[in-house]
Structures are given as structure tokens and as C-alpha cells.
Amino acid sequence: MSLSSLRIQNLAYAYPDGHQALFGVDLEIKRGERVALLGPNGAGKTTLVLHMNGIIAAMQGSVAIGGQIVDVKNKDSIRHIREKVGIVFQDPDDQLFMPTVAEDVAFGPYNSGLRGADLDRAVTDALTKVGMLELGDRPPHHLSFGQRRRVAVATVLAMSPEILVLDEPSSNLDPASRRELAEILRGLDVTILMVTHDLPYALELCERAVILSGGVIVADGPTREIFKNGDLLAAHRLELPAGFSI
């Protein structure tokens, strides 16, 4: 069994308009790691993530999830990969659409073939992990924004993913919701890739940080050490809050 959740080798991609988004990216993330993916707008972060579950096909190089190569031409492979790469969008309303919280969480496992007690167990376990079990019968639109984001995380956890990808997880959260989500994420036994501009949140949750800029990885190492390099951050349009000390 592979010890890597994600292995990207020499990945390059250009959009049809000719814009080159990625230039030979190499990245490996071990099982259980929590990694912050940082960089300015237009750096290629979204393009990289879309390769991870086969929405975009690699023009050069390869992407492997849990040792399995992402092959967009193989429908069975892509279905399996998309179960293993769970993406939590910045806006939870983009992935919550069922009448109740529990039905939203059940949607993915049900469509993957789970039924009966196994389906109930997957929903219960996922809602328990995010502290939302008691609200399973509530309509998602009756919840606070922070609660909806936690339910969105549960919809992904119910699929038992290899990697949990979080797109700006702290955005629009009040301080209490921000803290509660951080506590939940710290307690999860899953590989996490956090795409964020919130450097303090990255420092709080991720031991490792990767800076992607201009389609290449320009830094990869311990988050705290990278954040101590003010010139590096400034060169790639990343900023710590005023008065924030490392």
C-alpha cells in the first residue's frame, strides 16, 4: 500500500487559449499530512486541484491518488478517484441541495451504492465528526453559515476520502465558527490539502506549506519557517496580518 496520498510528477497544463497554468509541478503528500497550498490569484492552485479528481486531464506528467493514477479516459478509475478526493467548496451552498442535512450527507454514499445500515452508519459517523449529528433533520438553509460549512465537510467525509481538499475554509466565518472548524479539522484522521490566503489559519492547522506561483512550486517546507521569510511572502503577494508575529 502506498504511503502517499498524493503524488504529482512533472505536471504541466495549458488552457485552450494558450495560457500555461502549470509548468512541470512535482509534489508528494504523505498519508495524514496537513498541507497548506498558498499563492497569489492566478498561480495555478485551482488548476492543480482540478487535476486531482480528473476534471482536467494532464497534458504532461501524472497525478496519483493513494497510488492510483488519475486516468480521465477510464470511467471506473475516475469514479473511484472522485470518491477519494473530497473537495469542500468555499461556498457551502454550492454543495448543499437536499431537503435535510442528513439527506445531503447521504447523497454521495447512496450514489456509490451504500444502503441500509451501512448508509446510516456513514451519515452518523460523518455528522458526528463535525458535531452536527443533532441537526440531521434540519433543512440546511436554516443553519448558520458556519454550520453549513461543517455540513459540507461532512458530505465529503461520508465518502471516506483519501484526501480532503478545503477551498478557503476560514472565509466568512465568525471567530467562534473559525475556532470550531479548526478543532474539527485537527481531529480528523485524513490527509488535508488546504487552499487558502489566510496565513494564520494555515499556520494553525498545517505543519507544511507549499507556495505555488506562476505555475511552479517556489517553496515547500515547514509552515512556520516559510512564514518567517518575509521577502519570500512579499514576492508572491502573501501577507501576514499587521502585528502578527511568528
Residue 130 belongs to what domain range? 4-235
Assess if residue 242 is contained within a domain. no
Q: Are 81 and 68 in contact (CB under 8 A)?
A: yes
pLDDT at 164 over 50: yes
Report, as an integer, the average pLDDT of 94-113: 96
Condensed to tens digits (0 to 9), the pLDDT of residues 175-226 reads: 999 999 999 999 999 999 999 999 999 999 999 999 999 999 999 999 999 9
pLDDT at position 126, please?
98
Rounded Cα–Cα distance for residues 34 and 191 (Å) = 6
Rounded Cα–Cα distance for residues 194 and 169 (Å) = 8
Domain count, the chain: 1
Assess if residue 96 is contained within a domain. yes
Domain CATH number, residue 113: 3.40.50.300
Assess if residue 241 is contained within a domain. no
Assess if residue 244 is contained within a domain. no
pTM: 0.93
Assess if residue 68 is contained within a domain. yes
Which among 31, 36, 136 is positioned nearest to 84, based on CA atoms?
31
Assess if residue 187 is contained within a domain. yes
Assess if residue 245 is contained within a domain. no
Q: CB within 8 A of 39, min separation 6: which ones? A: 45, 211, 212, 213, 236, 238
